[in-house]
Amino acid sequence: MRLKGKIAFITGASAGIGAATAMAFAQEGARLLLAARRAGKLAQTASRAVDRGAAAVHSISLDVRSRFAVQRAIDELPPEWAEIDILVNNAGLSRGMDKLYTGRIEDWEEMIDTNVKGLLYVARAVVPGMVVRGRGHVVTLGSMAGEMVYPNGAVYCASKAAARTINDGLREDLLGTPVRVTSIDPGLVETEFSQIRFHGDVEKAAKVYKGIKPLTGEDIADAILWAVTRPAHVNIARVSLTSIHQANTLLVHRES
C-alpha cells in the first residue's frame, strides 16, 4: 500500500494507459481523482478501481482542451480532494496518418489542443498547490515519437516533442522545491490509441501491431508506479521503454 491515502489525479482515465494507471494506483491504496471526456467509460474505470482497492474515487467529466473547464474543475474540488499529491498528465491522442501537406487541419488542432495546450492547462492548475504544500509529483505521458519523427506523423511527433520540452522545463522551474517531475516515454502500446488515430477503423488499427508483441497499458502503468514510489529525494527524469520488437519509432521487427 505504497500510495495509501495519497490523492492521484489522472487525466484521460477512461481507457488505455490512464485506466491501467488507475488500477495500479488503486491496488496501492491511493485516493483516485479521475478525469476524462467520456463519462460512461470513466464511470466504469471508477467502479473497477474501487473493486481493486482504491481508498476512494472522485470522477470529473473534463475536456482538457478547455482551460476554463480545467481551472474550474480544480477550483471546485471538494476540500477533501483539493490537495493533489500526484498528477498523471496522461490525456492525449493522435489523429490521422497523412502526409503533412495533405493533413486535415482539424486533426492537427485536436492533437495540439489536447497534447500540448491541455498538458499546460492541467499543469498550470495543479502544480501551484503542490509548491505551496511542499510536496507533489508530476508525471507527463510522453512518447518515443517526441525523440524521432516518423513518416506521416509530423504533427503528433511535434506535439510529443513539445511535451518533452515542457516536462523538462517544468523540472527546471521547480528546482529548489520538493516537487518531482517525470516523463514516461513509451514506444508502441496497444490500446485504443490506433483506433482513435484512424477515426475508428479497427482493421487499420490492428495492422499497426501485426507481427509484434507491443507494450500494454499495464506495462506503462507499472513504470509510472515505479517512478512515483521512489524515495522522496529521487527524481526519475525520464523512462523510455519499448517492446522487444521495437528499437525506435522507425525500426520495428515483425514476425512473419
Asked whether residue 162 is domain-assigned, the answer is yes
Whether the per-residue pLDDT at 199 is higher than 90: the answer is no
- 107 lies in some domain: yes
Whether residue 250 is contained in a domain is answered as no
Q: Of 2, 29, 24, which Cα lies nearest the Cα of 13?
A: 24
Q: Give the DSSP H or E segment for 222.
A: helix 217-228
Q: Which residues pair with 11 in a beta bridge?
A: 35
Mean pLDDT on 236-254: 97
Determine, yes or no, domain membership for 80: yes
The residue assigned the cell 501485426 is: 210
Catalytic residue among 101, 121, 150, 156: 156
Contact call for residues 245 and 209 (beta carbons, < 8 A)? no
Q: Which residues lie across from 89 on neighbouring strands?
A: 140
Is 251 part of a structural domain of the chain?
Answer: no
Q: What is the mean pLDDT of residues 52-77?
A: 98
Question: What is the average pLDDT across 221-231?
Answer: 98
Q: Is residue 246 part of a domain?
A: no
Q: Please indicate, yes or no, whether the overall pTM of this predicted structure exceeds 0.85.
A: yes
Closest CA relative to residue 152, chosen from 112, 97, 194, 193: 97
Average pLDDT over residues 126-131: 98
Spatial CA neighbour of 140 closest among 177, 167, 170, 113: 167
Position 131 in a domain: yes
- 3-state secondary structure at position 65: coil
Question: What pLDDT, in 10s, does the model give residues 85-128?
Answer: 999 999 999 999 999 999 999 999 999 999 999 999 999 999 99
Domain holding 15: CATH number? 3.40.50.720
Where is pLDDT greater, at 199 or 235?
A: 235
**In contact, 92 and 184? CB cutoff 8 Å:** no
**Short-list 99, 111, 89, CA closest to 228:** 89
Q: Are 148 and 158 in contact (CB under 8 A)?
A: no
Q: What is the structure's pLDDT at 8? A: 99
Q: Which amino acid is at 73?
A: A
Domain range enclosing 30: 7-241
156 noted as active-site residue: yes
| Residue 1 within a domain | no
Q: What is the DSSP string of 169-196?
A: HHHHHTBTBS-EEEEEEES-B-STHHHH
Contact present, 91 and 118 (Cβ < 8 Å) = yes
Q: How many domains does the chain have?
A: 1
